[in-house]
Amino acid sequence: MLVLRLLNVVAPAYFLCISLVTFVLQIFLFIPSMFRDPSTTPLFSPALLHGALFLFLSANALGNYVLVIQSSPEDLGKGLNLGKGSEVVADWLDGSRSPGSALPSTHFCRLCARVTQRHDHHCFFTGNCIGSRNMRNFIMFCLYTSLACLDSLVAGMAYISAALSMSFANPLAFLTLLPHSISQFFSGALLSSEMFVILMLYLWLGIGLACAGFCCHQMLLILRGQTRYQVRKGMVVRARPWRENLQEVFGKRWLLGLLIPVLNVGSDCRRQKEK
């Protein structure tokens, strides 16, 4: 448990550090290198368009990241008829209350010390549990993080291609880039800044693919009307049309959530209708 609590603190700091490094490399290294002659740069040049795209992806990723943290499951747990204060924690810890006693898939997280409705999993990179209140923001966070990493990967490859006068037309060139770069770095033929960018290329690739795969897996569960917690516990869910499952998570203003970071109001609207 101590290791998990430490990971719950280190992982968000690691993510913010990677985000800061990516932003600095893009703004002060990759994008300026795309300007050949700033005095004759057209209004809609590739460099400006790439910069605008990166800022859009980064703003959405960071905005949804903040909303995932702010949308605390604890706020939702206060509305459940589970007791008050320490009584809730004590009852859940000693097992006197079953997870489904109040609402389906209600779960108490020992790391957060919070009650979550439609609990999916605990995300260490946000230090928060993912449930009905912040599921949409979490999916948008994974989507835009993946796109920002892949965008940085393409920009970094273009920078390395120009700096080292090499081509990535051959797919094996990227796979053999790291071992060749390490040998050149220790022989003094490669600058430390270039070696750092090469290491970041593989990090962006790993994070981008991981977030994309996780986002696709999460969308598949949503279409089925399931959560990872339900699948892990073997809970049976009531079959519903996939459109209703999507609307429950993304709400009616789903298109707005694709463009700008907004709170998930879909479950709140549904709760008001039920009342």
Concatenate the DSSP letters of all residues of 198-228 into one string: HHHHHHHHHHHHHHHHHHHHHHHHHHHT--H
Q: Are 88 and 79 in contact (CB under 8 A)?
A: no
Structure tokens at 160: 């390395």
Listed residues 57, 83, 118: the one ending a domain: 118
Lowest mean pLDDT: which of 57-66, 93-102, 136-145, 226-235?
Answer: 93-102
Residues 19 and 149 in one domain: yes
273 belongs to a structural domain: no
pTM: 0.83
Query: Does the active-site annotation cover 123?
Result: yes
CA distance 262 to 258: 9
Choose the catalytic residue: 17, 109, 112, 123.
Answer: 123
State the Cα–Cα distance between residues 155 and 162, nearest whole angstrom: 11
> Do 190 and 201 fall into the same domain?
yes
Residue 126 within a domain = no
Q: Sign (positive/negative) of CA torsion 138, 139, 144, 146?
A: positive
Q: What is the pLDDT of residues 219-262, one digit of tens each?
A: 999 999 889 988 888 887 888 898 889 888 888 777 887 888 88
**β 121-123/107-109 pair status:** unpaired
Please report whether residue 168 resides in a domain. Answer: yes
Q: Is residue 227 part of a domain?
A: yes
Q: Are residues 213 and 179 in the same domain?
A: yes
- My answer on whether 56 and 160 are in the same domain is yes
| Pair 246, 114 in one domain | no
Element (H, E) at 109: strand 107-109
Residue-range definition of the domain harbouring residue 80: 74-118
255/180 same-domain check: yes
Shared domain for 166 and 241, answered yes or no, is: yes
Amino acid 81: pLDDT: 47
Does 58 lie in the same domain as 158? yes
- Reported as a single tens digit per residue, the pLDDT across 48-89 is 888 999 999 999 999 999 999 887 665 444 544 444 444 444
Same-domain status, 47 and 175: yes
Count of domains in the chain? 2
pLDDT on residue 104 = 56
For residue range 152-167, what is the model confidence (pLDDT) as tens digits?
Answer: 999 999 999 998 888 8
